[in-house]
Chain A
Amino acid sequence: MKATLTGLLYLLLLLMGTHFISFVPPKAYTAAEALRNVRAEFHAALAKLDQTAAAYEATAYAFVKGEANVEALQKAHTQTRLAYKSIEFLLEYNDREAVKKYLNGPPLLSVEPKVPEVRIIEPVGLQVLDELVYSEDPKVEQEEILRLARQFNKDFSKVKAFQEGVVLQHRFVFEAFRYQLVRIFTLGLTGFDTPGSAAALPEARQSLEGAAQALMAYFPLLEQIGPQLATDCRLELGSAIAALSQPSDFNSFRRLQFLKKHLNPLLKLSLEAQKALEVELLHEITDRPQAWNYEAENLFSDEFLNPSYYTNLSDAAQSEERIALGRMLFYDPILSANNERSCASCHHPDKAFTDGLPKSMALNGEGSIQRNAPTLINSVYAEHYFYDLREPNLERQVKHVVRDEKEFNTDFLEIVDKLKQSGAYRSLFAKAYPEHPQYQISKWSISNALACYVADLASFNSPFDQYVRGEREAIAAEVERGFDLFMGKANCGTCHFAPAFNGTVPPYFQESESEVLGVPAAAQGPDSFVLDPDPGRFASYKPIDQAPFYLHSFKTVTVRNAALTAPYMHNGIYRSLEEVVDFYNKGGGAGMGIDVPYQTLPDTPLELSAQEVQDLVAFMESLTDTTGMTAVPEELPAFETHPEWNKRRVGGTY
Chain B
Amino acid sequence: MKKVVLSLLLSSMCALFVSAQATIFSEEIEIPEGYVIDDLLMPPSPLSLQVLFVGGVDLVQTTPTYGYEAGVAYAKEWHDFIGFTPDETGESLGWVSVNHEMIYQDNRIGDGGGMTVFRVERDPVSGQLEVVEQELEDGRKGEFFNVDFVNTVGETGMNCGGISSIVDGRIWTAEEWFRSNNGSIYNGGFSSPTSSGGYPKSPGGAENQGVRDTSAYLISSDIEGFDGLEVAKYENFNWMVEIDPRQAKAVRKQYNWGRQGFEGGVVAADNQTVYLGVDATPAFWAKFVADEPGDFTKGKTYIYKHDAPEKWLEVDNTDPEKMLNFADQAVELGGTMYNRVEWVAIDASSGKIYWTETGRDRPGSRWADENAAGAVHDPYHINRAIEKGIDSPNASEYPDYYGRVWVYDPAIDSNYVFLEGGPDWDEETSPSEADYFTKHLSNPDGLNVMMIDGQPFLVICEDLNGTSYGRMPAGISNRTCELWLLDLSIEQPTVDDLIRITAVPRGAEITGAMPTPDGKSLLVNSQHPNSNNPFPFNHSLTFAIHGFDEVTVTSLEEPQFESASQLQIFPNPTTRTVYLSEMTDLAVYNAEGQRLKVFRNTNQIDVSNLPAGMYFLQTAEGETKKLIVK
Residues of A with C-beta under 8 A to B434: 167, 169, 172, 285
Q: Mark A12-28, 1 if CB is under 8 A from B, else 0.
A: 00000000000000001
Residue of A nearest to B19 (CB): A32
Q: Does the CB pair B535–A448 fall under 8 Å?
A: yes
Chain A contact surface mostly: loop
Q: Does the CB pair A312–B538 fall under 8 Å?
A: yes
Residues of A with C-beta under 8 A to B205: 390, 540-542
| Chain A residues numbered 283-313 whose CB sits less than 8 Å from any CB in chain B | 284-289, 308-309, 311-313
In the assembled complex, B479 has its CB within 8 A of some CB on chain A: yes
In the assembled complex, A158 has its CB within 8 A of some CB on chain B: yes
| Chain B residues numbered 535-550 whose CB sits less than 8 Å from any CB in chain A | 535-536, 538-539
Q: Does the CB pair B24–A443 fall under 8 Å?
A: no
A367 to chain B, nearest CB (A): 10
Residues of A with C-beta under 8 A to B7: 28
Known pairs A96-B475, A278-B26, A403-B203; A535 contacts B194 (CB<8 A)? yes
| Chain B residues numbered 12-55 whose CB sits less than 8 Å from any CB in chain A | 12, 15, 17-27, 54
Residues of B with C-beta under 8 A to A392: 530
Q: Does the CB pair B21–A169 fall under 8 Å?
A: yes
Q: Does the CB pair B477–A101 fall under 8 Å?
A: no
In the assembled complex, B368 has its CB within 8 A of some CB on chain A: no
Known pairs A97-B474, A538-B193; A314 contacts B72 (CB<8 A)? no
In the assembled complex, A442 has its CB within 8 A of some CB on chain B: yes
Q: Does the CB pair B74–A541 fall under 8 Å?
A: no
- C-alpha spacing A539/B196, complex, angstroms: 11
- C-alpha spacing A28/B4, complex, angstroms: 11
Q: Does the CB pair A284–B596 fall under 8 Å?
A: yes
In the assembled complex, A370 has its CB within 8 A of some CB on chain B: yes
Residues of A with C-beta under 8 A to B587: 280
In the assembled complex, A75 has its CB within 8 A of some CB on chain B: no
- C-alpha spacing A309/B57, complex, angstroms: 23
Q: Does the CB pair B196–A30 fall under 8 Å?
A: no
- C-alpha spacing A403/B107, complex, angstroms: 13
| Chain A residues numbered 436-452 whose CB sits less than 8 Å from any CB in chain B | 436, 439, 442-444, 448
Residues of B with C-beta under 8 A to A48: none
Residues of B with C-beta under 8 A to A405: 201
B17 to chain A, nearest CB (A): 8
Residues of B with C-beta under 8 A to A380: none
Q: Which of B9, B26, B56, B535 has most A Cβ within 10 Å? A: B535
CB < 8 Å: which of A280, A390, A403, A533 contacts B25?
Answer: A280
Q: Does the CB pair B193–A539 fall under 8 Å?
A: yes
B57 to chain A, nearest CB (A): 5
- C-alpha spacing A46/B204, complex, angstroms: 47
Q: Does the CB pair B199–A30 fall under 8 Å?
A: no
CB < 8 Å: which of A162, A288, A309 contacts B427?
Answer: A162
Residues of A with C-beta under 8 A to B600: 169
Q: Does the CB pair A443–B57 fall under 8 Å?
A: yes
Q: Does the CB pair B535–A32 fall under 8 Å?
A: no
Q: Does the CB pair B74–A412 fall under 8 Å?
A: yes
| Chain A residues numbered 541-587 whose CB sits less than 8 Å from any CB in chain B | 541-543, 546, 551
| Chain A residues numbered 234-262 whose CB sits less than 8 Å from any CB in chain B | none
Residue of B nearest to A443 (CB): B57
Q: Does the CB pair B468–A114 fall under 8 Å?
A: yes
- C-alpha spacing A115/B427, complex, angstroms: 17
Residues of A with C-beta under 8 A to B535: 317, 436, 439, 444, 448
Q: Does the CB pair B466–A413 fall under 8 Å?
A: no
Residues of A with C-beta under 8 A to B200: 370, 386, 388, 390, 400, 404
- C-alpha spacing A304/B200, complex, angstroms: 34
Residues of B with C-beta under 8 A to A551: 194
- C-alpha spacing A115/B443, complex, angstroms: 14
Q: Mark A499-534, 1 if CB is under 8 A from B, else 0.
A: 000000000101000000000000000000000011
In the assembled complex, A35 has its CB within 8 A of some CB on chain B: yes
Residues of B with C-beta under 8 A to A33: 15
Q: Does the CB pair B506–A541 fall under 8 Å?
A: no
B95 to chain A, nearest CB (A): 21
In the assembled complex, B214 has its CB within 8 A of some CB on chain A: no
Q: Does the CB pair B15–A98 fall under 8 Å?
A: no
A420 to chain B, nearest CB (A): 13
Q: Does the CB pair A280–B598 fall under 8 Å?
A: yes
Q: List 24 A-B contacts (CB under 8 A).
A: A28-B11, A31-B12, A32-B17, A32-B22, A94-B474, A96-B474, A97-B430, A98-B427, A113-B477, A166-B435, A167-B21, A278-B24, A280-B595, A280-B598, A284-B598, A288-B476, A311-B532, A413-B59, A442-B57, A443-B74, A508-B475, A510-B477, A533-B196, A540-B205
The 6 closest A-B pairs by CB, nearest first: A541-B205, A32-B22, A533-B196, A280-B598, A541-B206, A32-B12
B interface residue numbers (CB < 8 A to A): 1, 4-5, 7-9, 11-12, 15, 17-27, 54, 56-57, 59, 72-74, 188, 190-191, 193-194, 196, 198-207, 209, 427-430, 432-435, 465-468, 474-477, 479, 506, 530-536, 538-539, 587, 595-598, 600-601, 609
Supply 13 further A-B pairs (C-beta < 8 A) apart from A311-B532, A510-B477: A30-B22, A36-B19, A101-B429, A279-B24, A280-B598, A284-B598, A285-B598, A287-B506, A288-B476, A312-B533, A313-B532, A443-B57, A534-B196
